[in-house]
Structure 1
Amino acid sequence: MEHICTAAEASPAAKAVFFDVDDTLYDHLTPLREALIQRLHLPETLPYEEIYHRFRYYSDLLSAEKNLSAVPTPEDMADMRRRRFMLALAEFGEFINEEQAEAAQAAYLDMQFQIKPFPEAVKLIQQLKNHGIRVGLITNGPEEHQLAKIKALQMERYVDQQLFFVSGGVGYAKPDARLFQHVNNVTGTLPENCYYVGDSWRNDVVGAIAAGWTVLWFNHRRAEPESEHKPHFIADNYEQLGNMLKKQLY
């Protein structure tokens, strides 16, 4: 997706906050849990939050192996989607075949378009914009798929669509710092004036730090750090995120 930097967006001194989408703007766990329970009839008592962590781990790992977030082929994407279900569930003693994994993926996909944003996320975005802060989105995945989720979240009501950046449209995927550099180039912003809010250590923390941005790790799943990188701020809820940004920006 090509963006045009308007004159109003071109000031390097402008402060900007960009948000990740999946499990940052909305609860990414719910579609997964419901897909597994409804389509595969797995017990409701399984530790779905732990399963979700491993599902995201394998999704990121397998995507990175074949650069799927930037230049996916349909065959590779389908293989990754099957394998992440199979590998994650196997760690919890639930062994499924490829057909079951495809069924789970189909249900998971359907439920992703029934999502709603965290109310606190919308409130924070509105507060930032009211204080003159530019707000945008940076997300990994195929462009059409991610934009459909953004549309389901009705984010165009709150965020300028020219500030939607999807790895599949840009050609670089988090944690590649070039994705963040592309955002700076297109928007006319400087890394030192940009803040990134995201839940994924591998993609959001590592990628934004490498690009020289200020990183707010939205660790609402109480995940453990995966490397020696150090986010500038850590928050487990939107109230904390809002307070941190308020102190930094206005």
Structure 2
Amino acid sequence: MMQAIFFDVDDTLYDQLTPFARSFEKHFNFYDIPLEALYTTSRKLSDEVFHLTENGQMNTQDMYVYRIKQALAYFGKQISYEKAAMFQKDYQEFQREIKLIPEVEDVLSFCVEKQITMGIITNGPFAHQERKIKQLKVDQWIPANHIFISSKVGYAKPDVNIFRLAETTLGLTDKHIYYVGDSFQNDIIGAKNADWKAVWYNRRSHKKIPNTVEPDYIADKNTLFEIIHKIELENEER
């Protein structure tokens, strides 16, 4: 059987575009900007500078402001630091109302039924990520000691060490370990470099990073449960 499966948090367990859109609509009247493209650009910018927040070269608030200011600048819009900070404040506030994606909830329940070890590996500030995890109520399926948050453990995806830490902590000894995430750079490349199986939860039809790795499975917004069910059946037949 599948020995273990780990999940990313943002835009994997919940739809991150929802709180982003609510804050955008509250603060801006840029009706000519495609919202999902703006969100995707913001995420890309965030990933590019995230390591600077981990090593202390950029504080977290400046990173939050940078990503929305630069994303809007890409679409020809200029905003102040203060306006960007207000957007971020409400973005975080709206994240207090996030809910599990229904299909993901089905996957978690299926894995409990099959007695598959589950965990979370996520990048970000500890208190911020922990608050989102609590809001999603994933403790019904995943115990607290199976959750690895980069700022708490000292490693961040795609660094292979955060995957190795999860293996060691949970006593995982074989390579029937799977990782589900939306970020090709952090989740898929990270998992594959750790010799884990990678399920790319590509809900927004992103393109693969060329000349890197191949995900073992690709799920869109409607096929994650089907793929996890198929993986478990294949493992049971071995």
User: What is residue 54 of structure 1 aligned with on the other side?
Assistant: 41
Query: Aligned letter for 2:215?
Result: P
Provide structure 2 residue ranges, at least 5 long, that are not aligned to the other structure.
Answer: none
Q: Which residues of 2 match residues 158-169 of structure 1 at below 5 A?
A: 158-169=141-152
Aligned mates of 2:234, 2:39 — CA distance in 1: 32
Structure 2 counterpart of 1:227, from 197, 201, 210: 210
Indicate which of 57, 77, 88 corresponds to 1:105: 88
Match of 1:84 in 2: 67
User: Retained in 2: the 8 A contact 1:19–1:197?
Assistant: yes
SS of the residue 2:43 aligns to: helix
TM-score by length of 1: 0.88
Contact 1:22–1:28 at 8 Å: present in 2 too? yes
- How many residue pairs match? The answer is 233
Q: Which letter maps to 1:224?
A: K
Partners of 2:104 and 2:2 in 1: how far apart? Answer: 21
Contact kept in structure 2, 1:184 and 1:191, CA below 8 Å: no
CA 1:71 to 1:126, structure 2 compared with 1: closer, same or farther past 3 Å?
A: farther
Partner of 1:9 in structure 2? none
Q: For each residue in 1:24-72, what CA deviation from the matched residue of structure 2 results, as whole angstroms up to 9, or x when unmatched?
A: 01100111111111023432x53111111111100000112x1x2x455
Q: Which amino acid aligns with 1:58?
A: L
Q: TM-score, normalised by structure 2?
A: 0.92
1:68-118 alpha-carbon deviations (Å, 9 max, x no partner): 2x4557x62111111100111111222212111111111111111110001
Q: Is the 8 A contact 1:40 1:100 kept in 2?
A: no
Q: Which amino acid aligns with 1:59?
A: S
Q: Report what 1:206 is aligned to.
A: 189
CA distance in 1, matches of 2:148, 2:235: 22
Residues 126 and 166 (structure 1 numbering): CA distance in 2 closer, same or farther, change over 3 Å? Answer: same
1:15 is matched with which residue? 3
Once the two structures are overlaid, the 10-residue window that deviates more, 189-198 or 101-110, is 189-198
Task: Determine the structure 1 residue equivalent to 2:17.
Answer: 29
Secondary structure of residue in 1 paired with 2:175: helix
